[in-house]
Amino acid sequence: MKMGGLGYLRTVIIIMCSAAGLRAQAEELLFDRYFDDATLRIDYTFAGDAARQQIYVDALSESPRWYGRRVRLDSVPLQGNGQITMRTLDGTIIYRHSFSTLFQEWLATDEAKRISRSFENVFLMPYPKDTVDVTVKLFDFHCRQVASLTHRVVPSDILIRHRRAGEHEPYVTLQRAADTTRCINIAFVAEGYTAQELTAYLTHCRQAMTALFNHEPFKSRRSRFNIVAVLSTSESSGVSEPAEGIWRNTALGSHFDTFYSKRYLTTLNLKRLHNMVAGIPYEHLIILANTEHYGGGGIYNSYVLSYTRGEQFLPVVVHEFGHSFGGLGDEYPYGNDDPMYFSDTEPWEPNLTTLHNFSDKWQDLVERGKASLIEGGGYQEKGVYRGAPDCRMRTNSEPEFCAVCRRWLNRLIDFYTE
């Protein structure tokens, strides 16, 4: 403290703060240089079978405001099973986003060896001021590129549908972020609730929200999340249960038995889903299904779907949010048929390792005695490792995320908001 004691320290802090402030300002300027405060939505069809996959452009639309991140636009926090990249005509990357899809999960099923199918996919990006090239890429389980499509987007194209403010379903705000210009926007969506059941739906939303923010690191960083509940109504109460021969008319047409797996509850109607929420502050979606049958699913940067009327509702919704928001993998084994992870490939999921490149994962936490290295995870008994005996990503009875998952979720919250 020779150089003027506290005064010096204060100067250092002011310089550091203004450097961070300048960086944030520079990022904002970058956003304003390339984008309008609006959302470009591109609908794609992903089609094919286990051997070959193709990507097709379906439709483009625009809605007011952009509710995703405004910083780190040219990078992704995780590789994902696919990526979408927007480039200016001189090749500068101005937006990137990574994701997983149901289509790619389906490719691992037996059905995909026999027939070709197509799946809807919808991606949101900030609305470019000038003409750009957009590239979509899909990766296989070895993180190798298996399909790619590049197409030009001219922002003034008359066939880009302009959605008016207020075309969406009504919604209520459940929690306002401290700074709504730098926050993570989550929207709950009601599935299988009739108009008379919306009160129950809102209770379920609040329960899910409370459960999420009971878990670290969400608990201590709650003010960074903005949360709304979309009041979407269904003709019928409940969701479809194909194994029982029950088909119901619901807002999203979701059903159990996805890929013939009994508890796998999903919706394939992504266009319908995004139509319902177009223009609403959202980036991450949590669909609550009005059913007492256990089930759900979570797809990285796509959506969570969870049942609501049962004891496991809250653990399930938090676990599935770990998939959809955090890109976390399942830490439980399932058997050794149809492996998804291979010793020559480090999984992109931050909480699983094949030891191919462990130093990129939580090796430092093991060295400091803060996490372990335990075999079994990613549906495999052998060859895949997790970081703790138990975790929210392993069993419904474990109340907390493990140290590996917590650290990752913290980094991700920073990625979106710092």
Side chain identity, residue 209 = M
d(CA 261, CA 334): 13
Can residue 212 be called a binding residue for Zn ion (CB under 5 A)? no
Give the binding range for Zn ion (CB under 5 A) out of 18-26, 184-192, 362-370, 393-401: 393-401
Can residue 318 be called a binding residue for Zn ion (CB under 5 A)? no
Out of 402, 409, 412, 413, point to the residue binding Zn ion (CB under 5 A): 402
Which of 299, 336, 302, 340 lies closest to 320, judged by CA?
A: 299
Contacts of 326 (CB under 8 A, 6+ apart): 350, 405, 408, 409, 412
Report CA-CA distances (Å) from 14 to 8, 24, 113, 277: 10, 15, 61, 42
Give me the sheet containing 93-99, strands edge to edge.
93-99, 82-88, 132-139, 145-153
CB of 337: closest distance to Zn ion in angstroms? 24
Cβ closer to Zn ion: 314 or 393? 393
Can residue 353 be called a binding residue for Zn ion (CB under 5 A)? no
CB of 362: closest distance to Zn ion in angstroms? 10
Can residue 125 be called a binding residue for Zn ion (CB under 5 A)? no
d(CA 307, CA 289): 5
Cβ closer to Zn ion: 76 or 402? 402
Give the binding range for Zn ion (CB under 5 A) out of 74-82, 105-113, 192-200, 395-403: 395-403
Can residue 384 be called a binding residue for Zn ion (CB under 5 A)? no
Can residue 86 be called a binding residue for Zn ion (CB under 5 A)? no
Can residue 317 be called a binding residue for Zn ion (CB under 5 A)? no
Can residue 393 be called a binding residue for Zn ion (CB under 5 A)? yes
Which of 376, 390, 383 lies closest to 355, judged by CA?
A: 383
Cβ closer to Zn ion: 101 or 354? 354
Answer yes or no: are the C-beta atoms of 266 and 102 closer than 8 Å.
yes
Give the binding range for Zn ion (CB under 5 A) out of 176-184, 256-264, 344-352, 360-368: 344-352
Cβ closer to Zn ion: 250 or 351? 351
Residue 36 pairs in a beta bridge with 127
Give the binding range for Zn ion (CB under 5 A) out of 200-208, 250-258, 285-293, 346-354: 346-354
Cβ closer to Zn ion: 103 or 341? 341
Can residue 351 be called a binding residue for Zn ion (CB under 5 A)? yes
Out of 405, 409, 412, 413, point to the residue binding Zn ion (CB under 5 A): 405
Please give the DSSP secondary-structure letter assigned to residue 284: E
Can residue 391 be called a binding residue for Zn ion (CB under 5 A)? yes
CB of 393: closest distance to Zn ion in angstroms? 4
Cβ closer to Zn ion: 229 or 405? 405
Residue 186 pairs in a beta bridge with 227, 284
Can residue 304 be called a binding residue for Zn ion (CB under 5 A)? no
Answer yes or no: are the C-beta atoms of 146 and 47 closer than 8 Å.
no
Contacts of 18 (CB under 8 A, 6+ apart): none
Report CA-CA distances (Å) from 181 to 12, 69, 94, 226, 410: 28, 9, 19, 10, 19
Residues making contact with Zn ion (CB under 5 A): 351, 391, 393, 402, 405
